[in-house]
Chain A
């Protein structure tokens, strides 16, 4: 019997233990042989023998199970050790790309207005004079046209200089109430450190009944929007001039680079100009034959927002697919 116990305890691998199991508990194993003796044992002693045998079997089984546990644990331990890796080698694989900071900024702007139930509208990049200028109260020879250096096509079409023609197209196609933004690329013939021939704008337009939409509303939404974009900044409105709005305002935020103390970025004024807006000029409504309406409009440059938000130093780099810049946004 001790011999059997010793066999279990000395098994030093699962394979060996399996052999022991067959030898002990198998059909032809040691225990089976013992149990076979039962039939030759006379009645009165039979019970005691059987009980003793059962106890012995139980004891061996417990011993076996314990040994199995131990060996199994050892084996898994060994397997785990074999699979050991320096996991720290596998960080920083750089497998993901980045959204472009300008597009990501545009998304953020769009999300704000979509959440306020603004529709997104689109328009062609090649425009005609009517939609890009005339209908926006920019008659031919108007000095304000000089504000925008225009690319012309041979047939008289222009590359849209702003997203404002989308306002006109939407108003001609739909009826008030209108609440829309028009994001997209625009083109101006200007190429230096702070200008690129193509950039992106987001235009907004809200039109309601006469007397419904006013300057105080515009002020409210522009302030909130700028707080959403730039956080805790001061917002300042200055009267300005755009041919398609009257009254018009330019909106500044307190400089986020120097906390309004004055620095190179804000030309030492403490303020950064970020967007233009105003009450839609009645001449614009006349051009689309809207009567008894009121509305506001606004427009902003997405590159400027992205550069301010992410402190990007160079505008032209944004258009060069430069991974040194892009990979920072992964």
Chain B
């Protein structure tokens, strides 16, 4: 919604209010100011009167004008076609600066002296109002020859763009904004009143007839005019340009101007082809399944508050026009439009937010404009259909209002604020009283809405802030613990060189398919994705991380380590949070220790980093089958005997697609990483011994299989064991040498040789019987 200062002045006297105060007040009452712009007309641009205008002797397109600029008559050459129709114009005299590098000087145009320039609106810095020079008329004020144009406040206006919230349909007009300002600034609103001149003596009721079919939950009022000498005044064009309203022809501009001024919805129908001598204009209002159709002489022309057919619209060449002002309830309109998917026109923005219900105001304003600025003659009176409006009454108490706000507000203050906003207040001596909501405030339903009105006008900044005193139990919960566990995990990841990344929870479906990741089922997927890159909900973060790594490679990063904790979805669109990591390129920074040539990330380095971040885990040959998996360097990550994710070197063909060198990724279910409660074991006071055993064993048996086998023996003295050497050579053939280191310790006594022997032998025998392993 755009307003201008001088336009607001039509309804409220703002002469004592500075632009700063106006800006502050609008913001403080909830009409947020988006921008404020003061138009200044350059110095030495004055009102000039054209005395004569003749063709230039040597140039067809130029005119030589004699113009009175108050201080004398000047000869000015002008190129605009419309100068020949002009009487009063804006003249930039010698010395006027129309731009930083544009000063008006004496000139000779094709041999003819020119002492100034006749200006168009845009040349003066005003918005464009059409071709040619700006022709001045009295609509901007009394035209005094030689007066600085900058002194005309309707031209050198201040334009304020407001960002209205969706509930304030009542402020979609100059009058509506003035009404709100009136309450806030305590300046009375000028009541608009105009008596028609009734130049056409025939009453409208004699030539038009209104009928209705069904219950009509809307109000309508009709007026009629013979159209003559229709044109738009300067102020009308200029203001419509200030508020960025489109200007097609005169009649639509006039309607737009009234709608923007009053908030009343107006439409005009061409009824020129009705022979009024013989027939009447039949207006039928038909409720057809909640859509209110207007038919004129049997033909449906519009739907109230929704749409008007182009065909029947009044044009500048219409000779008789039927004007309609209308109001329908915004809630009814939005429902029926959504339900029936109806086509709407630009006025629907106003009607769906609630237009001005005072129809008479709109019709009166129209009458005033047509009779004052055009030669149109209006038929006497109006015909209307008025819906019985039930008044909205809300019962409030001073105490409740004060409680909601948190400051004590006096009853008299509340009453005064509400009265200034157009509420009717029932007086009572009690704390409790009823208020009647003005019909233009569709948004006010209950006491909280009323409290908001009080807050708005008092100003939130004038409400004293008070800390809340709250007696209650602790609100510490599981989610808080989870948050801090997540934070600790994130910090460990950064301590190990990974940068935290965030990516959209979307993915390119074709990529997920290509790399054999699960896909959210068709019947559950998003139907209105924003682009093909984000065509579905993601089922892995790894594709996003690969894309991020690729971008970094393009920015010449030699190494990229990223992690992300974020949501993914499974086939059934169930949400899960995963911890995903990627490491690509050099495994450490380039420095003197590695002679500036660090080696690439490898399985061991990546796994060690991961272990430093998430703690201890086992690795087993991966069961994952997605397209990133490297068949010989991938593993399932096992914590407490549960698979909670996987890590893999990225398959070389995938690396190639993403322009990456050696790359490792891991993706782990975040919930499995939340620290669990730990109970300490007893600690042995006795010395333990380390024993190394080297086995020759089939090379295809992975370590984790051997590990599981040894664990299954449940040897009480075997505290821990791990592999320390793997060796293969030609001599060993399809076998490998695997050295295990055992740590043997008793909780109860010093170890005897026999006990050690027995533990070691159990292992040797078991591995021999299971896998044919022999000691080297």
Contact = CB atoms under 8 A, between A and B. Distances in A.
Given A142-B334, A153-B573, A319-B503, A216 B495 contact: no
A128 to B, nearest CB: 12
A169 B270 CA distance: 56
Contacts of A237: 460-461
Contacts of A151: 526, 528-530
A150 to B, nearest CB: 8
Interface stretch (A15-23, A29-37, A94-102): A94-102
Interface string A88-127: 0110011111111011000100100010011111101110
Interface stretch (B226-234, B290-298, B444-452, B667-675): B444-452
A208 B490 CA distance: 35
A251 B728 CA distance: 70
Contacts of A57: none
Contacts of A142: 166, 334
B479 A248 contact: no
A25 interface: no
Contacts of A256: none
A153 B494 contact: no
Contacts of B501: 100, 321, 326
A99 B534 CA distance: 25
Nearest to A85: B592
B522 interface: yes
Interface string A205-248: 01010111111110111010000000000001111110000111
A99 B494 CA distance: 7
A238 B468 contact: no
B562 to A, nearest CB: 5
B406 A249 contact: no
A196 B530 CA distance: 10
A217 B505 CA distance: 36
B524 A246 contact: no
B759 interface: no
A180 interface: yes
Nearest to A126: B573
Given A93-B589, A247-B451, A107 B487 contact: yes
Interface in A302-330: 318-324, 326-327, 330
Interface stretch (B51-59, B546-554, B718-726): B546-554
B630 interface: no
Interface stretch (B27-35, B205-213, B362-370, B701-709): B27-35
A217 B467 contact: yes
Contacts of B592: 89-90
B403 A214 contact: yes
B352 A279 contact: no
Interface stretch (A47-55, A69-77, A183-191): A183-191
B448 A327 contact: no
Contacts of B499: 97-98, 100, 321, 323, 326-327, 330
A146 B591 CA distance: 55
B165 A240 contact: yes
Interface residues of A, number: 90
Contacts of A246: 446, 448-449, 451-452
Given A126-B573, A326-B499, A157 B35 contact: no
A141 B334 contact: yes
A198 B505 contact: yes
Nearest to B506: A197
A179 B472 contact: yes
A206 to B, nearest CB: 7
A236 B497 contact: no
Given A198-B506, A219-B460, A126 B575 contact: yes
Contacts of B528: 151-152, 189
Contact of B560 (A198, A221, A323): A323
Contacts of B477: 119-121
Interface string B372-405: 0000000000000000000000000000000111
A143 interface: yes
A144 B491 CA distance: 40
A239 B28 contact: yes
B474 interface: yes
Contacts of B407: 216
Contacts of A97: 493-500, 561, 563
B766 interface: no
Contacts of B406: 214-217, 219
Contacts of A190: 530
B335 to A, nearest CB: 5
Contacts of A327: 499
Contact of A221 (B27, B467, B591): B467
Interface in A26-47: none
A237 to B, nearest CB: 4
Given A99-B491, A223-B465, A322 B551 contact: yes
Interface in B1-44: 27-30, 32-35
Nearest to B451: A247
B465 A216 contact: yes
Nearest to A187: B505
B337 interface: yes
B48 interface: no
Nearest to B545: A321
Given A90-B591, A107-B487, A141-B334, A241 B30 contact: yes
A211 B467 contact: no
A216 B526 contact: no
Contacts of B569: 126
Contact of B463 (A147, A215, A324): A215
B523 A154 contact: yes
Given A93-B589, A155-B524, A247 B500 contact: no
Contacts of B74: none
A203 interface: no
B504 A319 contact: yes
Contacts of A240: 30, 32, 165
Given A94-B589, A217-B468, A282-B446, 8 more contacts: A107-B487, A114-B480, A154-B524, A197-B530, A267-B34, A318-B502, A321-B562, A324-B555
Interface of A: 89-90, 93-100, 102-103, 107, 110, 114, 117-122, 124-126, 140-144, 146-147, 151-155, 157, 159, 177, 179-180, 185, 187, 189-191, 196-198, 206, 208, 210-217, 219-221, 223, 236-241, 246-250, 267, 269, 279, 281-282, 294, 318-324, 326-327, 330
Q: Which 4 A-B pairs have the closest CB atoms?
A: A216-B406, A321-B548, A214-B406, A239-B30
29 contacts: A93-B588, A95-B588, A99-B494, A100-B500, A117-B472, A125-B505, A126-B537, A141-B334, A151-B529, A151-B530, A152-B528, A153-B525, A153-B526, A153-B527, A180-B475, A190-B530, A206-B468, A215-B451, A220-B468, A238-B27, A241-B166, A247-B404, A250-B32, A281-B448, A294-B404, A319-B502, A320-B548, A321-B503, A322-B548
Interface of B: 27-30, 32-35, 165-168, 330, 334-335, 337-338, 352-353, 403-407, 443, 446, 448-449, 451-452, 455-456, 460-461, 463-468, 470, 472, 474-477, 479-480, 482-483, 487, 490-491, 493-506, 522-531, 534, 537, 544-545, 548-549, 551-552, 555, 557, 560-564, 566-567, 569, 573, 575, 588-589, 591-592
